[in-house]
C-alpha cells in the first residue's frame, strides 16, 4: 500500500484554497500512518469543524466529522468503546483552543491514547478570518483590524502542563520533521499532541504581509528555532526574539494513559 | 522513475518550485483550460533521488511530493529509458 491508497481519489481535488497548508499536513500524517503499517479498517480519523477539519473527508477510512470543538470528546468515546482502534484527530486552532479548549485540557489530563494533529493557521479560516486564540500579538484579522492586542495561546505549553505524553511542534515547511514527529506521536502510548503551523494564504497571509504563499513558507523557514537551541540561548542569558517559533519535541514521557490496548 | 504533475489536481501554488534542491520545478507560463498556471518540469530526469528510488527500494528526498498541498505530484516509470547523457549535479 502507499499513501495514495489512503486518499479518497474521487473526492480530489479538495476544497482548500490554492497553497493552503492543510493539504501538506494531510500528506505528512498519511505518510506517518502508512509507516506505522496500520490497516484502514482499524484506523479512524476524527475532526471538528473548520477548513482543517475537512481533512478526514478525503481519507479512505472510517471517519467522524463532528460538531465544532467536540472532536476530542467524540474521539475519547470511540477509544473507550473500542481500544483496538487507532485514532487520529485533525483539528484547527479555533476548534481546539477556543470552543474546544476544555475538551483539550481534559483529554491531556486523562492522557487518553490518541494522536492529535493541530493545524494551526492562527485564524478562523472557514468563517472568513476572525481572530483566534492563537493569533499572534499584532496579527491582523477581521476582528482585530488594528492588530491583536492579546497574547496568544502556546498550545504546546498548554498540552505539556495539562499532562500529554508527547508534545511537538513543526510547520508545514518542515515536512520531514513533521512526519517524524507525527510518527513518534502515533507510536507513543497516551495523548500525543503535534501542532503544525500552516499557512492560510486567503485569510491570514494576505492580511499579514504575506502576499504570496511562498512568503509565509519562507517566514516559517527563517523564523523557527529548535527547542534545544532556545534552551541553550536562555542558559547563556541571550534574548530569543519574540517572533521566533519554537519547534521540535517538547516532552516525551510515560504518564499512566487511558485507553491503551491491553 | 521521474516526476509528473497531475494537472487535474494542481492549483498552481508553486510551493514545489521553492523546495527542490535541483530546481526541477519552474513556475509555469501559461494558464491551462481551468485557468491554472501549472509549474513546468525542467528535465526531471536530472533528479538523482528519483532515479535511484528503485535501487534503494524507498523514497529518497520526495520533499516536492510531500509539500504539495494538492497531492498532485507523483512518480511514473520512465517509458523505454533511452540512454542519454545526464550531467551529474552535486
Ligand atoms: C457551535 C458552533 N459555533 C460556531 C461555528 C462557526 N464556525 C465554523 S468553523 C469556525 C472556526 C474554525 O476555525 P479553526 O478551527 O481555526 O479552523 P480553520 O478553518 O482555521 O482551519 C467557526 C467559528 C460553528 N460551526 N459551530
Ligand atoms: S481559508 Fe485558509 S485555512 Fe481555509 S482552505 Fe483557504 S487557505 Fe486553507
Ligand atoms: S525528489 Fe527532491 S530533489 Fe527530486 S525533484 Fe523532488 S524535491 Fe527535487
Full set of structural domains in chain A with CATH: 3-8+19-252 (3.40.50.970)
Interaxial angle between packed helices A101-110 and A71-81, expressed in degrees from 0 to 180 and rounded to the nearest 10: 30
Q: Which of A21, A27, A179 lies closest to B71 in CB terms?
A: A27
- Measured distance CA(A144)–CA(A146) in Å, rounded: 6
> Taking CB atoms and an 8 Å limit, are B63 and A19 in contact across chains?
no
ipTM: 0.91
- What does the pLDDT look like over A113-147, one tens digit per residue? 999 999 999 999 999 999 999 999 999 999 999 99
- The residue-averaged pLDDT of B43-48 equals 89
Residue whose entry in the numeric block shows the C-alpha cell 502542563:
A161
- What does the pLDDT look like over A150-205, one tens digit per residue? 999 999 999 999 999 999 999 999 999 999 999 999 999 999 999 999 999 999 99
> Taking CB atoms and an 8 Å limit, are B66 and A173 in contact across chains?
no
Q: Which of A22, A31, A218 lies closest to B69 in CB terms?
A: A22
Would residue B84 count as lying in a domain? Answer: no
- Measured distance CA(A186)–CA(B8) in Å, rounded: 32
> Taking CB atoms and an 8 Å limit, are B70 and A14 in contact across chains?
yes
What total of structural domains would you count in chain B? 1
Residue spans of beta strands (DSSP E) within A68-150 = 86-92, 115-120
**pLDDT at site B83:** 66
Interface list for chain A against chain B, based on CB atoms closer than 8 Å: 4, 7, 12-14, 16-24, 26-28, 31, 172-173, 175-176, 179, 201, 213-214, 217-218
- What does the pLDDT look like over A34-80, one tens digit per residue? 999 999 999 999 999 999 999 999 999 999 999 999 999 999 999 99
- Measured distance CA(A122)–CA(A169) in Å, rounded: 14
Would you state the cell numbers that stand for residue A127, as one nine-digit string?
468563517
The CATH number covering residue B24 comes to: 3.30.70.20
**pLDDT at site A251:** 96
Domain that residue B45 falls in: 2-76
Q: How many CA atoms lie within 13 A of A254 on its CB side?
A: 1
Would you state the cell numbers that stand for residue B8, as one nine-digit string?
487535474
Minimum CA distance residue for ligand 2 atom 1: A125
Amino acid at each position: 500500500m502507499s499513501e495514495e491508497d489512503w486518499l479518497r481519489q474521487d473526492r480530489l481535488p479538495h476544497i482548500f484554497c490554492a497553497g493552503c497548508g492543510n493539504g501538506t499536513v494531510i500528506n505528512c500524517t498519511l505518510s506517518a500512518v502508512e509507516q506505522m503499517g496500520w490497516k484502514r479498517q482499524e484506523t479512524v480519523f476524527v475532526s471538528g469543524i473548520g477548513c482543517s477539519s475537512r481533512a478526514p473527508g478525503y481519507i479512505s477510512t472510517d471517519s467522524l466529522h463532528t460538531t465544532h470543538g467536540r472532536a476530542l470528546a467524540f474521539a475519547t468515546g470511540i477509544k473507550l468503546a473500542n481500544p483496538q482502534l487507532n485514532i487520529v484527530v485533525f483539528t484547527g486552532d479555533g476548534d481546539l483552543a477556543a470552543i474546544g479548549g476544555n475538551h483539550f485540557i481534559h483529554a491531556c489530563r486523562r492522557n487518553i491514547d490518541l494522536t492529535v494533529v493541530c493545524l494551526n493557521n492562527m485564524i478562523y479560516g472557514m468563517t472568513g478570518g476572525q481572530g483566534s486564540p492563537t493569533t499572534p500579538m499584532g496579527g491582523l484579522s477581521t476582528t482585530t483590524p488594528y492588530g491583536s492586542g492579546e497574547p496568544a495561546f502556546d498550545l504546546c505549553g498548554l498540552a505539556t502542563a495539562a499532562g500529554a505524553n508527547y508534545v511537538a511542534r513543526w510547520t508545514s515547511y518542515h515536512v520531514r520533521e513533521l512526519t517524524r514527529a507525527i510518527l513518534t506521536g502515533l507510536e507513543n502510548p497516551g495523548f500525543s499532541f503535534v501542532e503544525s503551523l500552516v499557512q492560510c494564504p486567503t485569510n491570514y497571509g494576505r492580511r499579514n504581509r504575506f502576499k504570496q504563499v511562498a512568503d509565509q513558507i519562507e517566514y516559517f523557514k527563517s523564523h523557527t528555532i529548535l527547542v534545544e537551541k532556545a534552551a541553550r540561548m536562555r542558559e547563556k542569558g541571550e534574548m530569543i526574539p519574540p517572533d521566533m517559533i519554537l519547534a521540535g519535541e517538547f516532552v516525551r514521557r510515560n504518564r499512566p494513559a487511558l485507553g491503551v490496548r491491553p | 522513475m521521474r516526476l509528473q504533475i497531475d494537472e487535474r489536481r494542481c492549483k498552481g501554488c508553486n510551493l514545489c518550485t521553492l523546495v527542490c534542491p535541483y530546481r526541477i520545478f519552474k513556475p509555469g507560463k501559461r494558464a491551462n483550460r481551468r485557468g491554472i498556471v501549472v509549474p513546468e518540469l525542467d528535465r526531471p530526469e536530472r533528479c538523482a533521488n528519483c532515479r535511484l528510488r528503485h535501487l534503494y527500494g524507498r523514497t529518497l528526498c520526495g520533499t516536492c511530493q510531500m509539500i504539495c498541498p494538492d497531492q498532485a505530484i507523483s512518480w511514473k516509470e520512465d517509458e523505454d529509458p533511452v540512454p542519454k547523457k545526464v550531467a551529474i549535479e552535486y
